[in-house]
Amino acid sequence: MRIITIIIFITVITIIFSPAKARAATIASKSASLTTKATVEPILAFSIAGINNDTAINTGNSGCPNNERTNTGFDSSSTEVNLGRLRDVSTSPNLTAQLLQITTNAQSGYALTATSSRHLTNSSGTFSIADSPTPVAFPKQQFFGIHPCGIDVPQIWRGNTELTCSTTQTISSVCKYAWPAQNESLILASDSTGPSGNDVTPGNGVISVGYAASINATVPAGLYSAVIRYIVTPTF
């Protein structure tokens, strides 16, 4: 018997892939830009609140140190102040007040101004109680006016560099009063840096407005009235 031996040679071929030798594929980088937008709606809120009789004028206003008390016998409201029966200048003037509050997100703040319908005049239109279109110390004569108080109120409304003043103190610290004309606005308060409001800075945008009046023997009896208009102008 013949034995045939078959030898099979298996050749293993190893294929090594070299990236360095492979054909390179070129992919260009890309970029994209986009704009993100958002809107903040403008806000302006303005309110007027009354102050009760026999109450400090600065009630509700941490930026106003004037704690003189209202003394007319009448509470004020958001739409009306009643100065009551006016007293002779030899005694303290009749005082009442309102609290004004302004909130705005205007970047450059706000300005509060006022105009009026007329002087404080009797119902027949024949006599008006004296006033001043610019802030002055309350004089010892028949007189009527308003005095704003707060951290946004200009220095011209006070007799010195301090916030503290009163109607009957010395000239250096007396509260100054004025009454706006019909056709010329009177600046009561302003803040050039917004947003403005009590929530931003305590006392910011809060103004206590005192009303004072007194008479002498030259003032005839009667019912006297006038209308004041407050205007808030934001600067966005």
pLDDT of residue 77: 97
CB 207 within 8 A of CB 232: no
**In the block, residue with structure tokens 């308003």:** 146
Among 122, 160, 123, 159, smallest CA distance to 142 is for 122
CB 58 within 8 A of CB 65: yes
pLDDT of residue 69: 93
* Residue 39 within any structural domain of the chain: no
* Residue 8 within any structural domain of the chain: no
Chain-centroid distance of CA 176 in Å reads: 20
pLDDT of residue 91: 72
Segment 72-81, tens digit of pLDDT? 999 999 999 9
177 DSSP β-pair partners: 136
Indicate the range of 40-49, 82-91, 129-138, 190-199 predicted with least confidence.
82-91
Question: What are the CA-CA distances from residue 121 to residues 52, 73, 131, 185, 223 (Å)?
Answer: 25, 21, 11, 20, 8
* Residue 36 within any structural domain of the chain: no
* Residue 15 within any structural domain of the chain: no
* Residue 173 within any structural domain of the chain: yes
Segment 35-69, tens digit of pLDDT? 999 999 999 999 999 999 999 999 999 999 889 99
Q: What is d(CA 83, CA 85) in angstroms, rounded to the nearest whole number?
A: 7
Segment 181-202, tens digit of pLDDT? 998 999 999 999 999 999 999 9
* Residue 183 within any structural domain of the chain: yes
Q: What is d(CA 19, CA 70) in angstroms, rounded to the nearest whole number?
A: 93
Tokens matching residue 153: 């109120």
* Residue 118 within any structural domain of the chain: yes
* Residue 1 within any structural domain of the chain: no
**In total, how many domains does the chain have?**
1
Say if residue 150's pLDDT is above 60. Answer: yes
For residues 7 and 115, the model is more confident at 115
Q: What is d(CA 162, CA 169) in angstroms, rounded to the nearest whole number?
A: 13
The CA-based angle 189-195-200, given to 5 degrees, is 90
For residues 12 and 97, the model is more confident at 97
* Reported pTM: 0.84
Q: What are phi and psi of 14, to 5 degrees?
A: -100, 120
**Residue 120 belongs to domain spanning:** 44-234
